Structure 1
Amino acid sequence: MSEESLKNKHLSGSEKRKKRLEQQNKRDEVLKKTYNLFQLGFSRQSPEIQLSPSTSTGQSSDTNAVELPSECSEQTQQDKETSTSKCADGGEDEVQILNQSIEQLGVEYQNDIGIWQNINNEIQDFWCARDPNECQNFECDFSASSRYGGKIKREWLMYSPSTGKVFCFPCVLFGEEQSRSQFKTGFSDWKNATDRMQAHENNSKHQECVHTLISRRRIHGRIDTSLEISINKEREYWTQILQRLVSVIKFVSSRGLPFRGDDEILGSQHNGNYLGILELLAEYDPFLSAHLAKYGNKGKGRPSYLSSTICEELIEIFGNRVLEFIVNEIIEAKYFYISVDSTPDISHTDQLTVVLRYVKSNGEVAERFLAFIPMASHKGEEQAEAILKFLNKYHINIKNARGQSYDNASNMSGCYNGLQAHIKKINSLAHYIPCASHSLNLVGVRAAECSIGAISFFGFVQTLYNFFSASTHRWGIMQNNIENGLVLKKKALQSIIEDKTQTTQTIHEARCLIKEFKKKENVMTLFWNAILDRINAVSKSLQHPAIELTTAVDLLKSLLHFLASQRELFDEYEMQANQKTNIEYSDENQRVRRRKKYHDEGSGEEVLLNGKQKFKIETYLPILDMLYGELSRRLKAYEEINSLFGFLTDFMTKTNQEIKDACIKFIEYYSDDIEPQFTNEMVQFKFFMLQSEDAPEKSKIVDAEKLLKIISD
């Protein structure tokens, strides 16, 4: 019989059954090997990309049914050949974050399997070392029902967001280039998906690709097994070193301690906190101790991860990650409040300190420092450009700013060319609110500089302090002359004058200071104690972190009324001064100097002031007028803001109509942010707070942070 006739000979039924049995055994062997795919870590449940359970009950009873994503099922009814829906809207953002570091390498390194083009050995090694779940890109259930009621995940099935098709991960990596398989070029025939997927799983080419993938992921059995083991050990070694370095850097930086010292020599007492803590840990960590002994003090050219260069790189990486986290929180919160101040550093470079304040999703108020911005000019326009450039860099929209706060310098607070004016030109809703405590300090400064008498008094106080603080001996004498908490400086000066061991210059300075004490103008400044005491108390209250806007306005108003009441208390302060001493005003016994009159002057008599009247008109009243005027002017900024936002914390003290009127005004101002139903919500919220267990008294102001937590919960 010829060879050709043998080939054309038909097999008997027994031979066909035997051949089918052999093929089935081969497939079973391959399938057993594919189970190792899960043991090798091929399948991993990602906490960030969870496969959602199926909502279809009709398909669950079919042993070969596959549950398709709902978006893909809807699209099948419109077009059987194309699929443009993306089934993993929630997972795309997370996957993009995981692959930001490899986007620039090429499309084959990205997690969208549909855009891979040139698959070479390097690409195969790259994806063999990574988790295939990173390429699945969907949250729908693509698992097949098993024969025993459970489900087996199809780990080989990957979804491409760009093409709307599914691919076979092993076949794309290791399949033949001329292969016409739809799972290699992209499958979107959702109507016949069940049969096609089952047929592809049983295909010998697919099983070969799976077997190849398993082999490539194994270390043992490869030609370069020893090299791979060596590389993994080296990688693990430096990973453990980095873990220890990261912990030390986090510890030092979180406490604001300096990293570097005078040198970088291990064993030196001047090598700084960073290396010093590593040496301390090495005493109890044999692994780190061996590393320091092997790589320490080796100089440049030897990798040790102990140098200041690596330390600074790690700090920069930490800083970028922290900044990224803060920026994401701000973008999620949407609305924010910006606070900026300028200060020179040790290198005399002027820098803008950028701080943003916002409310987290849980109702917690956060205030975060973002960066230092070097500044070459103090002009408000250039500062505004620098801030806008910084915010745009991190995709923070200035249109979402709802407030800005700076110090009271004209280049920042100026209503025409200041920083706040340039920001308001872009976003009119970014209200400028000057720092309340700083404004109050400036009110006192302006008052202390408004008259010669005030300047003379504070100059005398400064001179007195300098005299005693310049010498520890004189300071000790002052401490010995304290009675009932008051320092008797005049008595201390007298004891210094009588001390023969003092130098002539010291005795002369003490006598000059005693002469100043004998002026009634300095004793009459007792009213400064009352004024500054009230200003200091209000300033401390304004700096409390939990103070409400309405409370701050009420405090400033009360201080304003207190200052107005002081105008009529001059005689009372003079009486207190007379009880302390019987001295007179410095010009009370001086000869009155009369100015010569010229022929063109009127005949009216010249008014000459001295003693009590002169001090009252030229010193006392101007000081009070300056305090009252400056405080009234600065109070207007807070009253304007309180008229908009005050009802949010004192709504318990208002009637329903007052709440509605305030809400209508609020909605008109923030028409793009607040919905019309806000009015009814506030009225209902008032009754909700009244019925709650921890409801505040009807006459009290509700804490804003407490309200935020109640609303967020």
Structure 2
Amino acid sequence: MKRKLKDKRDQETKKLHGSLDKFTFSTNLSTSVPLPETDVTEIYTNENEITKIEKSVEVCGITSTNLSTSAQSQEIDVTEKYTNENEITKIEISVEVCGITSANNSDEKCAINNTNVTVTTEGFSDWQHTKERLREYENSFIHRKAICDFSNRSIDIKRIDCQLVLQYKKDVQYWRDVLKRTVAAVQFLAQRGLAFFGENEIIGNGHNGNFLGIMELIAKFDPFLKEHLNNYGNVGSEIKNSTYFGMIVDSTPDITHIDQLAIVLRYVNCDGQPVERFVKFQDIYGYTAEYLTITIVEIIKKFGIDIKNCVGQSYDNASNMAGKYSGLQTRIRTLAPLAIFLPCAAHSLNLVGVHAVENCNGAVEYFSIIQFVYNFFLSSTHRWKLLYQHLECNETLTIKSSSQTRLSANADATKALQQNYAYILSILLEISQDNNENGNTQFDAMNILKTLKKRETAILTIVWDVILQRINITSKSLQSSTENLFSIVPLYNSLTDFIQYVREYFGDYESKSIELLNKDI
């Protein structure tokens, strides 16, 4: 028995012989390493001068080690000599490489220089103890120093994008400070049951309400808030100075089921930069174009802005907003003839994606599965806690709900499902085998587990995550305040080309789905 085991080990060892030859040089240069030509001459002729460039490369000292010899240190000596005689320039470059060792037979060891660890100085041929030797190298001074250097280079202040990172952190801290002061004022008024709003919302006006009054009072003793109010407080005066503006309008119901109209004005400041400023939330009780027109015009007049200076308007594609004959955009153009209407590019992109999902039964079924998984864990505090504990330990996203109207929500849902796929499968298996759970819970867990283990479900998770993440990035770019009309079409074209690319590389996503199903926790 021992003889058989020894023969088996010898066979495995022979298979590994020469596996590192591609990383080393040998003494038999004619068969192992092709040497470059030693004399390379390039002659360039000109009517006035002749330039001759000679490159001579000398490779020497390439040696091989045996069991009794240790590796020589690797030395690289590069010298450049420049001479100029009679308009003839000669450049000589000599390179000497020494001490690169290799193993050509079973009696030789492979060695890597520049460390004091046995495996890198004397070589290594004991393949049965590879793990121990690698651990020895990982604990060496050279390796630890390299890791420390890598960590130092990863520090934000030493990265190539350090300025962008610092600016981002500065902006985050700025708005956090604004939020702290705003929340403090809201708490003060709410605890005493005082009204928030007044007759108007103009900074500096004595009838602008308790909230703005408190903010102005704090600003007298707080330079930060004073500067903030000066920069963002008087939108009306800034727009008056800019003269022309465009408006973006949309509505959505709040938690009290009252529809609120949000108005955003876009203009160019004195520095020539495009600026978007939120103006007001207005409760509305109708959806007709006539009612919305009257509401918007009255709000703009309160800020002392002339509606005739409106040169652009952008809404969604609803008939009451974008209607050609009696929609909001047509009625605004009767008051401001220069107010060109453009449908919201991000909203149009969202509509395309939503309708694409609705017209594909497989996609509808897939997002129903995502919603069912979300509802299964959300409906029980015990199951949600069990899921949250697994995801918190691995610092991954919690699962999200899908949406029938917002592609960005679906993008978050598919991303969370893909990152947590293996953990969700493990938790579902645990629940389905837990006798303390009731029968319905075990049955639902088993059905979801079978569905998620299907190859087509894993493929759809990979494909939809890739598509929706790209759509979400494009949508956010379209919503940026710095984007203009000229960038819309290139963004659309880029997205179209990317989706075509996804269709042509289906095999790659199929292989990724196999990895997703076989991923270890």
- TM-score, normalising length from structure 1? 0.35
Larger Rg: 1
Scaled by the length of structure 2, the TM-score of the pair is: 0.47
